[in-house]
Amino acid sequence: PASAALTPEQEDDLNRDMLMQLQLSGEAVPSHGVVDGRFVLRIAITNHRTTDADLDLLLTRCGEIGRALMAGASAGGDRRTA
């Protein structure tokens, strides 16, 4: 997996950056949590109008943002520009 080259701290930072990108885009508004000391993205699906397409979009955007952040980090750039 792509994250195999990251330390746990770097993975946590990546998740923080991904959360910020998602929230700023307005495409999704997940929150976060800490599980076993690790920063994780958290989604709460309480709206009865949530569709499979909404969840597909969220997962797609997480992948896109994560890849862009990783590419920026490996190129020595700022990860926060996805």
pLDDT score recorded for residue 81:
46
**CB atoms inside a 10 Å sphere around CB 17:** 21
Between CA 30 and CA 61 the distance in angstroms is 12
pLDDT score recorded for residue 74:
72
Burial degree of 22 (CB within 10 A; 0-12, 13-18, 19+): buried
Task: Tell me what the pLDDT averaged over the chain comes to.
Answer: 88
Between CA 29 and CA 8 the distance in angstroms is 24
- Asked if 22 contacts 16 with a C-beta cutoff of 8 angstroms, the reply is no
Q: Residue 8: what are its φ and ψ, rounded to 5°?
A: -55, -35
pLDDT score recorded for residue 5:
82
In the structure, what pLDDT confidence band is assigned to residue 82 with cuts at 50, 70 and 90?
very low
Q: Tens digit of pLDDT for each residue in 26-61?
A: 988 999 999 999 999 999 899 999 999 999 999 999
What's the per-residue H, E or C state across 12-40? HHHHHHHHHHHHHHCCCCCEEEEECCEEE
